[in-house]
Amino acid sequence: MSKIKTANSDITIVGGGLVGLSAALALQGSGQTIKVIEASSLHHPESGGLNARSIALSYSSIQIFRGLGVWQSIRNQAAAIRDIHVSSQGHWGVTRLSASELELDAMGYVIESRLLAASLLEKVEASEHIELLTGARFESIETGDEARIGYQIEGQRYQQLSSLAIIADGANSSARKQLGVEHNSVDYGQAAIITNLEFSKPVEAMAYERFTEQGPLAVLPLGGKRYACVWTRNIEDAEALVQLDDGEFIEELQRCFGFRMGYIEAIGQRFSFDLQRVQARRLISGHCLLIGNAANALHPVAGQGFNLALRDIATLYDLLGGQNMSDLDDETKLSLLAEYETNRKAEQNRVIRLGDGLVSLFSNQLPVLNHIRAGSLAALDLVPPLKTQVALAGMGMTFGGNALLRGHL
């Protein structure tokens, strides 16, 4: 094998998914050179229509994308969530959350992942300060006076030296493992079934969160008759449901969801994945920092995974305050990263407690809890201040403000 080639950058990001690309766009200020290392090509075609993958963006995420100059290019491709209907299957008690009560146009939006990725990729490739390396297989990482990242492209080995390495390579992060950062893992004994649906009587801009015996069912607008569906079941049932033909699956789902939007007329491809929570015990190691699923992979019940990662990025941007990482002395860098960890751990732990609390409360079939759940939803609907706090938490607006949260760099 040929000799290792060495290069320098102010910041290196390991992982070029939605989180990694967003981080690169946010941190490119002050003339910082940023290198993004990604194993895939990022240009492989993805399905649209009823087979599209999608992602829900909270209000705080929309503000962050406004600041990054991304929102303008995707606004017309996203479907607004203006109202949220929360219920518990087979029990009384309903909560309704509305953007109009908060004097907002929308509480969030849903967009196909491929459209968001394409917009981020276009902005990254147009930047003079970001170098995106695709087909780059991560091999190693060390941290001392600086971060040293080893990777390989077509048999040629490289070493990247950086003042800061951002680890964004997913829940099963190889970089996190090599850094020796331990993590806690919780197996929920559940699986999420993902699919898209078309309803006969869609309700514009309405999202539904329905708690069932085995876990939550989320139905989110994609525009027109199309809705994204995330259905949590126990693992055995999820495997069986995915194997049903379209008619049988629709019948089971209709029984669970009801007829709020009429009949399910069409369904896309279905797949399922087991649900686990992975939480890194530390967010930093030397000059390396973990974000996204490498730091926290969450249950989808609160829809906070990607949105939480964007707030991580916004916090780091705010702490840097336009400074170039390479211009800071080592003590200042480490102090800044320690402040970041303290700041973000607080909100991350709150989000995890909220998600786990919802899973425990609404996936337990003890009779007494059935009444507590129903009463909680009804009471929440009747107490506007409490309902507002729940809505603001879901929109990511309770963690403190910064420039990106206000929608500008």
- Answer whether residue 385 shows pLDDT above 70: no
Label each residue of 183-251 as H, E or C.
EEEEEEEEEEEEEEEEECCCCCCEEEEEECCCCEEEEEEEECCEEEEEEEEEHHHHHHHHHCCHHHHHH
pLDDT > 60? residue 66: yes
Domain ranges, residue 156: 5-45+59-74+112-185+276-372+388-406
The answer to whether residue 172 is domain-embedded is yes
401 assigned to some structural domain: yes
Quick check: is 380 in a domain? no
More confident residue, 402 or 190: 190
Express each pLDDT in 269-282 by its tens digit.
998 988 888 889 99
In a domain, 206, yes or no: no
> Higher confidence at residue 46 or residue 294?
294
Q: Tokens 């107490």 correspond to what residue?
A: 383
Instruction: Using pLDDT thresholds of 50, 70 and 90, give the confidence band for residue 196.
Output: very high
Q: Is 100 left (phi over 0), alpha (psi -120 to 50) or beta?
A: alpha
Of the listed ranges 100-104, 130-134, 396-400, the one predicted with least confidence: 396-400
Q: Which amino acid is at 89?
A: Q
Structure confidence at residue 194 (pLDDT): 93
Regarding beta strands 34-37 and 5-14, do their DSSP bridges make them parallel or antiparallel, or are they unpaired? parallel
Which CATH number is 24's domain given? 3.50.50.60
Does 40 reside within a domain?
yes
CB-CB contact of 52 with 110 (8 Å): no
Query: Is 80 exceeded by the pLDDT of residue 253?
Result: yes
Q: Determine the pLDDT at residue 122.
A: 94
CB 300 within 8 A of CB 230: yes
Confidence of residue 399 (pLDDT cuts 50, 70, 90): low
In a 13 Å sphere around the CA of 315, the CA atoms on its Cβ side amount to 25
**Mean pLDDT, the chain, as a whole number?**
85
Reported confidence tier of residue 177, pLDDT bands at 50, 70, 90: very high
Q: Quick check: is 350 in a domain?
A: yes
| Least trusted range by pLDDT, from 56-60, 272-276, 295-299 | 295-299
Structural domain contains residue 395? yes
Instruction: Give mean pLDDT, residues 73-101.
Output: 82
Q: Looking at residue 388, what is its pLDDT? A: 46
Q: How confident is the model at residue 50 (pLDDT cuts 50, 70, 90)?
A: confident
In order, the DSSP letters of 105-134 are S-SEEEEEHHHHHHHHHHHHHH-SSEEEE-
pLDDT tens digit string along 311-357? Answer: 899 999 999 888 889 899 999 999 999 999 998 888 887 877 766 66
The stretch 378-390 carries a mean pLDDT of 45
The predicted structure's pLDDT at residue 277: 82
Residue 384 has pLDDT above 50, yes or no: no
**Residue 67 resides in a domain:** yes
Number of domains in the chain: 1
| pLDDT at residue 47 in the model | 66
